[in-house]
């Protein structure tokens, strides 16, 4: 069995009049993430980890913000495209692990819905997807609720 590992990171600003979508799940909150797409930092970090594992560049290369077709894009659609790309190259997800850093709102009640959503898009078992949430202990821009960040690691396998 061949193995490849990749990591990903993303951060988006919080702003008014935006929906908060994390891990493909809409979360009730007075602020949402600002971006060209739906700004789902968890899914963006996971896609970069998957691409990085195969040295395929980053999501900016495949879905450039300058391209109007990705405006307000559902990041789950982009995730399905990245998954199709790695499958086409003969690889599959061994497991994914992600940490989302947000001061508010409490994300714990939404984690299982995120894992289920990502598992269905990626067509893998939910127990191959880890998502953890933490605060930044009120430190820095994330701690001041100016944004939400996410980190991810992807292990890919090929037979
Ligand atoms: Mg992003």
Ligand 1 centroid vs 67 CA: distance in angstroms? 14
Is the model's pLDDT at 72 over the cut of 90? no
Instruction: Please tell me the pTM assigned to this model.
Output: 0.97
Q: What is the DSSP letter of 88?
A: H
**159 confidence band (pLDDT: 50, 70, 90):** confident
Q: How far apart are CA 117 and CA 114, in angstroms?
A: 5
Ligand 1 centroid vs 147 CA: distance in angstroms? 12
Q: Domains in the chain, start-ordered, CATH in brackets?
A: 3-158 (3.30.1330.50)
What tokens appear for 70 in the block? 């990705």
Q: How far apart are CA 50 and CA 83, in angstroms?
A: 8
CA 140 to chain centre: 21
For helices 41-53 and 75-88, give the axis angle rounded to 10 degrees. 10
Ligand 1 centroid vs 39 CA: distance in angstroms? 5
> Which residues hold their Cβ within 5 A of ligand 1, which is an ion?
10, 44
The pLDDT of residue 71: 87
Residues 6+ positions from 90 with CB-CB distance below 8 Å: 158
What tokens appear for 93 in the block? 């997800």
């Amino acid at each position: 069995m061949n193995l490849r590992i990749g990591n990903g990171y993303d951060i988006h600003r919080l702003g008014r009049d935006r929906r908060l979508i994390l891990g493909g799940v809409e979360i009730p909150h007075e602020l949402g993430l600002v971006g060209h797409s739906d700004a789902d930092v968890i899914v963006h970090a996971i896609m970069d980890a998957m691409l990085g594992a195969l040295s395929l560049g980053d999501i900016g290369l495949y879905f450039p913000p300058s391209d109007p077709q990705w405006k307000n894009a559902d990041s789950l659609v982009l995730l399905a495209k990245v998954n199709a790309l790695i499958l086409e190259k003969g690889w599959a997800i061994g497991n994914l692990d992600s940490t989302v850093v947000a001061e508010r709102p409490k994300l714990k009640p939404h984690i299982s819905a995120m894992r289920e959503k990502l598992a269905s898009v990626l067509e893998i078992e939910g127990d191959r997807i880890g998502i953890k949430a933490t605060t930044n202990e009120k430190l820095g821009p994330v701690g001041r609720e100016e944004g939400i960040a996410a980190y991810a690691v992807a292990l890919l396998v090929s037979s």
